[in-house]
Chain A
Amino acid sequence: MTAGQLDRDKLFTARLYAARVRPYLATALFALHPVESRRVPTMAVDKHWRCYVSPAFVDRTPVEELAGVWVHEVSHLLRDHHGRGDRFALARGLTGPGERLRMNIAADCEINDDVYGDGLPRPEGAVLPGHLRLNPGELMEDYLCQFTLGPYTQGLSWLDCGSGADGLDREWDLGPDGAHGLSEQERDAVRFRVAQGLTGRGSTPKGWQRWAEEVFHPPQPWRELLGAAVRSAATGPGGEDYTYGRPPRRAASLPGVVLPSLRRRPPRVCVIIDTSGSVSDVELGSALLEVTAISRSVGGRRDLVSVLACDAAAGVAHPLCRAEGIPLIGGGGTDLRAGFARALRTTPRPDVIVVLTDGQTPWPSERPPCRTVVGLFPRDRVAEWDEDDPDQVPDTPPDWARVVTIG
């Protein structure tokens, strides 16, 4: 082998090793098409799943570190950093190469947590959230809001994982029409196969598990989901709809024709707020904000929305019009069954019950005679497990309720 030529054997040995220590990424690693390039500083990817490789970099890097770079680069593609970067830039009106460098750094922070260790040694100079005084385990978008280019990032201006990492086209990119690129459908197919291999596999890093769950179903804004769930629960039988119950206004002009009319019966909504010790004040504050939003979404009749603070014993239902200061007394354990019973005893009975809770509670054993929407504050189930009382397993919300995860 002459000097300066790409050592293909070394490059592919590294990929083989990477596929051995990360078998769940094998499909994606093998789908990458390597292209020799003297213009990339190390290795870089484009969004068509080509991997540009510098021969000099391959020469000077040990196989196991090279394997780490393979996994690093393919992670950028699997996690769609170029697409997410573009969307982030569009949403915030960001332009310029400095911003793209920031995206590359933030993307690296997101993946390097999961890439190294377990057979892949971390190379010198790999960017970790800690280097920028940031918390580990967050997403690229979160990191992008938390740092600016400055003293902590000065050593990183050489960083370049290519257009596949930050969305900005490079001069060495072969473009969509170049050889061996993957079409959008092929990229989705590869991502899908990797995600499928990941779900139901026990021993993969948490970051990858989260990715596999969300790759084709990104989480939606919970406010819209909660609003839609409440609206849909409120517009069932009893809400605004057409009836033949009374003649409509235009009936007089059409003798002999029976017309239906639109009758609006705004639904009564009862909101049960879990005030047990396990729900924080911040969460309760945001829950109250949602209560006002919900009351607006069902027609703005605040007298039809009542609020019930509930811990082990349910308090008194307060109509929302008096509730600028709803007494959120409580603390201690929760028993939402008391809350349901109290809500159903009010006259007239509510059409919809909205429960805002962290779910650490027993649920009614039977479906209540009205629609139920549950706004669930997420909890790390394992961490919340009660060490003193291992038998007490919190129930998940029953399937007769529509559940929206909040936050």
Chain B
Amino acid sequence: MTSSALPEARRLDTAAALLDLLADTATEPRTDLQLEALTLAVAADLPVLLWGEPGIGKTAALTQLAAALDLPLTTVIASVHEPSDFSGLPVIGDDPAVQGVPMAPPDWAVRLVRAGRGLLFLDELSTAPPAVQAALLRVVLERRIGALHLPPGVRIVAAANPRSSAADGWELSAPLANRFVHLQWTYDHDVVLRGLGGTWPRASLPHLDPARLREAVAFARRAVCGLLATRPALVHRLPNNETRRGGAWPSPRSWEMTLRLIAFATAAGTSREVLSMLVRGTVGDGPGLELLASLDRLDLPDPEALLADPSSAVLPERGDLRQAVLDGVVDAVRQRPDQARWDAAWALLVTALETGAPDLVVVPAATLAGLRRDDWAVPAAIERLAGAVSLSRGADHAGVRAEAVVGAAR
């Protein structure tokens, strides 16, 4: 019997078999920074908002994530719902004056609460009318839908199309935007190729090290408070220009979210790349980059520790960081000058000269020489800095020659 002679019902069975084969995809562990960032934020129980062009695989990523976390996925297309679907429908009972008017929740919320756990995916957030967004505010912030309260096991992820591609989109209101971790979702060519070939990257929950929890919290508090103590203007700044509307902006609430993300990233040993995406997506690019820069500085060796034991000092390889450390050392000597510390600083400069680029040493050496008191003996180590001195002289000569060229051209 040829296939064309199959009865109608059997043909549909064959189609189903083909569909099953197509749906049979595997996952593989693979470094995927945006997936890692999404997973970490979901683990930290912060609402995530994925920004990406339509059809880029946001929904597919969410399906993978739900499978990996073993959470049932509830997708709600925000733009096709009414505000009452989120705030509850007023239902008039027998005696409203006595019993009040209860706000009845929709069925998906009831099922989610009954399950006690799940991943709530609010799709097409930016195309929802303002009243629907206002109702969603309560779902995201207070985790309430009508009279129901979402249990702690429910995590919230939303998705939106960027303004440039949303033909009829409303923009996100500033209060709603401030409650999300904003992640830019782009596609990686290799991931898509592997995925269409049948293997998608696997999202896995970050492994939090139980021994590092306390330390992670202390580190996160120190990082955020350290920055905000010196930069009070960064604490609260409403977006005031058109390009930044609807995105992440700094407020005490989003800083608290940042603090939580740093603690989770530290406990999980997450890379700086992923943390950078998360922090910039929570408080915005400018404040986020400032925080990351101050984290980099926290990572640098402490000038006092270096001065206490210059012989075993290890200086950073990268030139700009090395220069920052040397400047810090010289500055520490300036704060509390004495001969032993001055000598130790010279020893450090010699180490720097011997292990890296010599031009970095020139400015700190000149500054340090200027700190000398009359009764301090010149350390023998200075002789070994002769290379740096000749470098500096070479630069002086170059300046004179460049000046002469310009003069001649006039």
Contacts and interface: CB of A to CB of B under 8 A. Distances in A.
Contact of B92 (A30, A235, A256): A256
A188 B272 CA distance: 12
A262 to B, nearest CB: 7
A292 B245 CA distance: 24
A232 interface: yes
A27 B169 CA distance: 42
Contacts of A258: 89-92
Contacts of A26: 320, 323
A389 interface: no
Interface in B344-362: 357-360, 362
Nearest to A121: B405
B402 A192 contact: no
Given A30-B360, A64-B398, A257-B91, A9 B163 contact: no
Interface in A182-226: 182-186, 188-190, 192-193, 196, 216-217, 219-221, 224-225
Contact of B398 (A13, A19, A182, A260): A13
Given A217-B285, A257-B104, A16 B391 contact: yes
Given A121-B405, A240-B129, A27 B320 contact: yes
A63 B400 CA distance: 11
Given A12-B359, A185-B276, A219 B89 contact: no
Interface residues on B, range: 35 or more
Given A31-B319, A192-B289, A121 B406 contact: yes
B130 A235 contact: yes
A402 interface: yes
Most chain A CB inside 10 Å of its own CB: which residue of B163, B360, B394, B402: B402
A341 B212 CA distance: 65
A8 B388 CA distance: 12
A15 interface: yes
B130 A183 contact: no
Nearest to A14: B398
Given A13-B394, A235-B170, A119 B293 contact: no
A216 B289 contact: yes
Contacts of A12: 357-359, 391
B219 to A, nearest CB: 18
A19 B290 CA distance: 23
Nearest to A15: B359
Interface string B178-198: 000000000000000000000
A230 to B, nearest CB: 11
A5 to B, nearest CB: 16
Given A188-B289, A189-B296, A30 B169 contact: no
B163 to A, nearest CB: 5
A231 interface: yes
Interface string A1-24: 000000011101111110111000
Contacts of B104: 257
Contacts of B90: 257-258
Given A9-B391, A189-B289, A216-B286, A64 B402 contact: yes
A404 interface: yes
A17 B395 contact: yes
Contacts of B285: 216-217
A256 B320 contact: no
A402 B246 CA distance: 14
Nearest to A256: B92
Contacts of B163: 224-225, 228
Given A16-B362, A16-B395, A184-B273, A31 B244 contact: no
A241 interface: yes
A355 interface: no
A17 B164 contact: no
Interface in A243-263: 256-260, 262
Contacts of A19: 359
A220 B243 contact: yes
Contacts of A9: 358, 387, 390-391, 394
B180 to A, nearest CB: 18
A64 B273 contact: no
Interface in B361-410: 362, 387, 390-392, 394-395, 397-399, 401-403, 405-406
A262 B79 CA distance: 13
Nearest to A217: B243
A119 B92 contact: no
B320 A63 contact: no
A221 B164 contact: yes
A19 B399 CA distance: 12
Contacts of A224: 163-164
Contact of B399 (A21, A235, A236): A21
Nearest to A229: B242
B132 to A, nearest CB: 8
B82 interface: yes
A67 interface: yes
Interface string B215-246: 00000000000000000000000001011110
B118 interface: no
Nearest to A248: B82
Contacts of B395: 13-14, 16-17, 20, 63
B28 interface: no
A180 interface: yes
A229 B239 CA distance: 14
Contacts of B322: 30
Contact of B293 (A10, A193, A220, A256): A193
Interface in B93-140: 93, 104, 129-132
B363 to A, nearest CB: 8
A29 to B, nearest CB: 8
Given A9-B358, A13-B391, A119-B399, A241 B131 contact: yes
Contacts of B397: 63
B230 to A, nearest CB: 14
B405 A183 contact: no
B267 to A, nearest CB: 19
Contacts of A186: 272, 318
Interface in B149-170: 163-164, 168-170
B405 A217 contact: no
B317 A180 contact: yes
A62 interface: yes
A257 B289 contact: no
B265 to A, nearest CB: 12
Contacts of A27: 320
14 contacts: A12-B358, A17-B398, A20-B395, A28-B320, A119-B406, A121-B405, A183-B273, A188-B276, A189-B293, A192-B290, A217-B285, A219-B243, A220-B243, A241-B129
Interface of B: 82-84, 89-93, 104, 129-132, 163-164, 168-171, 240, 242-245, 272-273, 276, 285-286, 289-290, 292-293, 296, 317-320, 322-323, 357-360, 362, 387, 390-392, 394-395, 397-399, 401-403, 405-406
Given A30-B320, A228-B245, 8 more contacts: A17-B394, A20-B395, A119-B403, A121-B406, A185-B273, A225-B242, A231-B171, A236-B130
Report the 5 A-B pairs with minimum CB-CB distance, sorted nearest first. Answer: A30-B319, A16-B359, A13-B394, A63-B398, A17-B395
